[in-house]
Structure 1
Amino acid sequence: MINRAMKIEFKRLFKAIFKYLSRLLFLYLAGVGQIAVALDGSLVESRSVSESLDIPQQAIDTNKIPSFTLNANADDKPLPVYRLKENVYFLFGNITTLNEQNRGWNGNAGFIVTEAGVVVIDSLGSPALGRRLMATIREITDKPIKYLIITHNHPDHAYGASAFRELDGVKIIAHQGNIEYNNSTTAQRSIEYRKKLLSSDMHGFKPLQADIYIKSEPFGKKEITLAGARFHIYNTGKHHSYGDLVVHQVEQGILWISDLAFNQRTTYMGDGDSAQILKVQDWLRQTFTDVVLMVPGHGSAQTPPFPMLEKTRDYVTRMRAAMRQAVENGVDMYDAVKNVEFEDWKDSRLYEENQRANANFVYQEMEKEFFGNF
């Protein structure tokens, strides 16, 4: 005999299965289902790469990270590149601080090849790396580079843009916050430091000048289309820098989230707004329910359920709570920053380098929030 409770449970299961199958059908009809099957992530073999590198063979959902020492004065040599799917390519940066070994390649970049040309997302950390990124693109295609999208002003993503400015026909797109950054003491210190450490790599550097600045309201978007491929570029405010962008490849179901979430390392919160990080993540999850791949600015690309989002959120939430409690209890900044530890994060890359800086930044945010209530 099937009782009433069993009937209700069968009905619930039937609805869940029907909803799931309907979702699969929608994804298939939208083309995203086929894209999910076509995800690749493999290393594109190249005999032109000049260095001997210890790098993973796969760039999607991998635990391995790249390890390498780059040669100086190798501007015409391509870098290792991964194929995320057909015509979508990814440069997987080292996960460490800037040094002479990685020569500033400690962030990710990528590019998409269309019939009408190439769209590049971020430019790496120096003009020399920008030129090597262009050499990498030339290994894949001879189609012209049409757009360079800079997701934010931090050096590891933006300082290679000078090299692209030398090309004809390239439109550079950036957040309007880059204008403020260019006139800041933060930029001056960063440029001076890189020129001192990597003088030859920084040859020809000029502060970023975009052709198109994204000035829309938060979460507003600009669309560019190239040979039928649509790219939605979203203004996500100042969650990580002077102004941040997220790029959605609409037909491919790929989302380039830059430094909204960090994979395989501890996040950095020396700029931006920690509360905005949480707001943008909420918006991201609600808006891009059909995305099949997220590409961060640091660490490997990820498939659903995108655990890097939750890990970054957990870290930010805990840091905000710890520093809020310290401010409310009258603990001074020095002691609060010195004493905050997340035991489960200590084995994460760049924890020692970023934990104190993050605590310092968030403590000051909590002070403003606390005293602003009086």
Structure 2
Amino acid sequence: MFEAFVAICILASAGAEPGQSCRTALLPGHAADSPAGCEATLPEKPPAWLVDGGAPYCAARPRSRLVFTEVAPGLFVHSGAIAEPDADNAGDVSNIAFVIGGRGIAVIDSGGSRQVGEQVYLAIRERSELPISHLVVTHMHPDHVFGAEVFREAGAEIVGQQNLPRALADRAGSYMTSFGRLIGAQAFLGSRIVAPERTVHDKESLDLGGRVLALQAWPTAHTATDLTVLDQGTNVLIAGDLLFDSHAPALDGSLKGWRSVLADLMRIRADRVVPGHGGPILPWPEGAEPLARYLGVLDADTRAALQAGLPLSAAARTIAKSEAGHWRLFDLYNARNATVAYTELEWE
């Protein structure tokens, strides 16, 4: 098979060597059995999002650099690095899944850069040429959303929780700046935030052809935009960042809300679960027990600090410290979680 590509570059700066700030980007939607078939579909002008690039061209489809594991029949999961986003991982720090049905394919989350999204697309095409009908975005965080445009170009409908469009619109500028700085301009080339075309207010389903995905929107918990996917074909729950494993949890919503939502989530009759980080697949509901414990300790320690009259600066250094040995990247996330918890609970 042949795909369309384009060289994209950072606008040249004085003294820069040719090619040192460029990368080859994939342009989905032009796949064909021959170069001529691919070339016949190429646009006359390069895509509008290009910063600085050449004319699109066609070449043989390469293999993906990402490893996906078939954790259940037709359900594939890529484990993102348990690390901070940087130039080496290009924002590939969260789990990504796709489900192959009889008529189409749904992708769940898209990675932290367009570059990651392109590699997900290639991994899918190694396994199926069925249409990529849907991209489900489990929440607003940049490591889950910046690859989305690749799938829109491939023809997928982007689906998210009802609060997601506003949340992304409010944060697009800051996410572009902060995440682009973390992973570097070259790795971030071509990455943009795109809004979902379809939103879920409560429960909906996607029929992929003999394979139904049950979507459920949740009240504010990890964030105000959380959405889960239950693959009814394999009874596997894809929880997004409502579930962390190994990677320290990140609280960006409501501690009380997350504890409540997690309790409800654990009552879902699934056999196994794919977390947003870690795993890649865990028994259910046992797989949620470490997170439930951590959130309980975070709650209890925060209340104790408030009761003792500790100021936030002192409380953030002690809250949930007993959990440090259970989580990777703990020191990067726990103080932030303590700050969010303290701010929420002090006004009860």
Sort the TM-score into its range (normalised by shorter chain): 0.7 to 0.9
After TM superposition, list the pairs within 5 Å mapping 1:138-287 onto structure 2.
138-168=125-155, 170-184=156-170, 186-196=171-181, 197-214=183-200, 216=201, 220-269=202-251, 271-286=252-267
Report Cα offsets for 1:166-213 as digits up to 9, x if no partner.
Answer: 223x111011222222232x4422211223343233333332211101
How far apart, CA to CA, are the structure 2 residues paired with 1:229 and 1:107?
A: 24
Query: Which residue in the other structure is 2:38 paired with?
Result: none
User: Which blocks of at least 5 consecutive residues in structure 1 are unaligned?
Assistant: 1-70, 370-374
Structure 1 contact 180–242 (Cα < 8 Å) conserved: no
SS in 2 for 1:242: coil
Distance in structure 2 (CA, Å) of the matches to 1:338 and 1:344: 13
Given that 2:100 and 2:208 are in contact with CA atoms closer than 8 Å, whether structure 1 keeps it comes out as no
Shift of 1:74: 7.4
Question: Given the alignment, which residue of 117, 122, 128 partners 2:109?
Answer: 122
Cα displacement (A) at 1:160:
0.6
Counterpart in the other structure of 1:326: 305
Residue deviations 1:309-349, cap 9 Å, x none?
11101111111111122223221101111233523433521
Task: Give per-residue Cα distances to partners, 1:226-274, cap 9 Å, x unaligned.
Answer: 21211110001221123100101113111001111211122111x1111
Match of 2:90 in 1: 103
Change (3 A) 1:343 1:322: closer
Query: Which of 272, 283, 287 is 1:304 aligned to?
Result: 283
Match of 2:273 among 287, 290, 294: 294
Q: Deviations over 1:74-105 (max 9, x none)?
A: 76651111111221111111001111121110
Unpaired segments ≥5 residues, structure 2: 1-21, 27-61
Does the CA-based 8 Å contact 2:266-2:285 persist in structure 1?
no
Q: Partner letter of residue 179 of structure 1?
A: P
C-alpha separation in 2, matches of 1:139 and 1:333: 51
Contact 2:142–2:179 (CA under 8 A) maintained in structure 1? no
Q: Aligned partners of 1:172 and 1:97: how far apart in 2?
A: 26
What CA distance in whole angstroms lies between the structure 1 residues aligned with 2:192 and 2:281?
A: 33
The match for 2:343 is 364
Distance, in Å, in 1 between the alignment partners of 2:76 and 2:211 is 15
Report the secondary structure of 1:297's partner residue. Answer: strand
In 2, Cα distance between equivalents of 1:131 and 1:114: 21
Instruction: Measure, in 2, the Cα distance between the counterparts of 1:150 and 1:96.
Output: 21
- Same amino acid, percent of matched pairs: 25
Q: Which amino acid aligns with 2:126?
A: E
Does the aligned pair in 1 maintain the 2:294–2:320 contact within 8 Å?
A: no
Contact 1:90 1:108 in 2 (8 A): yes
Question: Size of the alignment, in residue pairs?
Answer: 290
Post-superposition shift, 1:156? 0.9
Aligned residue in 2 for 1:133: 120
Q: Which amino acid aligns with 1:356?
A: A
Give the stretch that moved more between structures: 195-204 or 151-160.
195-204
Question: How far, CA to CA, are the matches of 1:179 and 1:236 in structure 2?
Answer: 15
Q: Does the aligned pair in 2 maintain the 1:153–1:243 contact within 8 Å?
A: yes
Taking the aligned partners of 1:347 and 1:285, their CA distance within structure 2 comes to 21
Q: Does 1:336 align with 2:315?
A: yes
Runs of 4+ residues deviating >6 angstroms: none
Q: Would you tell me which structure has more strand in proportion to its own residues?
A: 2
Superposition pairs for residues 27-42 of structure 1, below 5 Å? none
Pick the structure with greater CA Rg: 1
Q: For 1:201, what is the secondary structure of its paired residue?
A: helix
Letter in 1 for 2:295: V
As a proportion of its length, which structure holds more helix?
1
Q: State which of 318, 340, 355 in structure 1 corresponds to 2:334.
A: 355
Q: Does the Cα contact within 8 Å between 1:73 and 1:201 map onto a contact in 2?
A: no
RMSD: 2.0
- Name the SS for the 2:333 alignment partner: helix
What amino acid is aligned across from residue 361 of structure 1 in structure 2? V
Query: For the residues of structure 1 that align with 2:71 and 2:237, how far apart are their CA atoms?
Result: 12
* Cα distance change of structure 1 residues 244 and 344 upon mapping to structure 2, 3 Å threshold: closer
